[in-house]
Amino acid sequence: MTGSVHHNSGGPGASSAAHSEAVIQAAQWLAEQNPAPTSVISALRERFGLTALEATEACAQAGKYRVWRRAHG
């Protein structure tokens, strides 16, 4: 069989580009908030239209962004 094979590099449960973009945007926004809003999950769900799972993913990513910014300025 010939042709290229495309692998989903997002790992198990990886989703569409639109989903990923919304999670990334939410994570970037959250990383900029100081202090972070109370009820973070609810705030992300309302502001970005995320599911609860997506909002938790955005929270985790925001934490990584904060660490990276502290380390690299």
Q: What angle do CA 47, 16, 41 make, to 5 degrees?
A: 30
Question: Under DSSP, is residue 73 helix (H, G, I), strand (E, B) or coil?
Answer: coil
pTM: 0.72
Each domain of the chain, given as residue ranges in start order, spans 17-72
Nearest Cα neighbor of 23 from 37, 9, 52 is: 52
What's the rounded mean pLDDT across residues 7-14? 42
pLDDT above 70 (res 12): no
